[in-house]
Amino acid sequence: MSEHIQIDGVTVEVRRSARRRSVDLTVERDGEVSVAVPEEMSTAEIGRIVRGKQEWLYTALARKEATNKGPPPKEYVTGEGFFFLGRKYRLRVVADDEVGGGKGGLQWTNGRFFLGRGKVGDGKDLFVRWYTMQAAEWLAKRVNALKARVGVESVEIGVRDLGFRWGSCTHKGKVFFHWRTVLLPPERIDYLVLHELVHIHEHNHSAAFYERLRRASPDHKVHEAWFREHGDEYRL
């Protein structure tokens, strides 16, 4: 059963770890608040530390509320724009026999997406499937190109729906990326790859993590600011 504390109306999930020596307060992309703490830290001490960061916490929550509004959901009609590697390409709905060997699937050809008219109702699923395939191929290449920068020899990766997270790294060193990653500009994808590869060494957001990240990506703060402002624009 998960542990929570209430701080002036804000529910904070407490995540304890025997290996942790510092306290890390986080506002997740969906607005949920968590605090990672050493295993033996008392609830009273946790509450005192979180209250000491209330100004930062309320500012972060307000920012999340604003950015999570995001753009309206996509419509699968001719003229709608869909991102791929940071550029927006228009969709054209055509007769089923013009796409996918008569099956009315989704194709990307000559800088335009084509969707069979009979598959419009499955438009989102088809785009997710296509993006997932493209992400798996693109990310494998970028991980291979960047892994030496953070001192990693081999990496197992996966692509899936991670909700509001762009990526995650297990304690066994497997790295997962959201399929939406391939919507982003290439330089932002590279930053996410480096961020998750650093987590293979540091499974937290400690000072040691950010020192490794700074060495691997000296302009990481620029990327992080960009994601706070624009990240939610890249979705279906």
* Model pLDDT, residue 115: 95
Contacts (Cβ under 8 Å, ≥6 apart) of 198: 150, 209, 212, 213, 216
Give the DSSP H or E segment for 169: strand 167-169
Residue identified by tokens 């972060």 is 60
pTM of the model: 0.73
* Model pLDDT, residue 163: 79
Assess whether pLDDT exceeds 70 at residue 70: no
* Model pLDDT, residue 165: 82
Give the separation between CA 217 and CA 17, rounded to whole angstroms.
Answer: 28
* Model pLDDT, residue 116: 93
Q: pLDDT for 87-120, tens place per residue?
A: 999 999 999 888 865 566 899 999 999 999 999 9
Q: Among 5-9, 133-137, 140-144, 227-231, whose mean pLDDT is lowest?
A: 5-9
Assess whether pLDDT exceeds 60 at residue 1: no
User: To 5 degrees, how large is the angle CA 38–CA 40–CA 41?
Assistant: 70
Assess whether pLDDT exceeds 70 at residue 29: no
* Model pLDDT, residue 156: 92
If one counts every other C-beta atom within 10 angstroms of the C-beta of residue 174, the result is 13
User: How many CA atoms, within 13 angstroms, populate the side-chain half-sphere of residue 230?
Assistant: 12
Q: pLDDT for 77-87, tens place per residue?
A: 999 999 999 99
How are beta strands 81-84 and 87-94 bridged, if at all?
A: antiparallel
* Model pLDDT, residue 120: 93
Structure tokens at 43: 């609830």
Higher pLDDT, 202 or 32: 202
Q: pLDDT for 190-231, tens place per residue?
A: 999 999 999 999 887 788 888 999 999 999 999 998 988 888
Average pLDDT over the chain reads 88
Domains of the chain: 3-67 (no CATH), 81-122 (no CATH), 128-233 (3.30.2010.10)
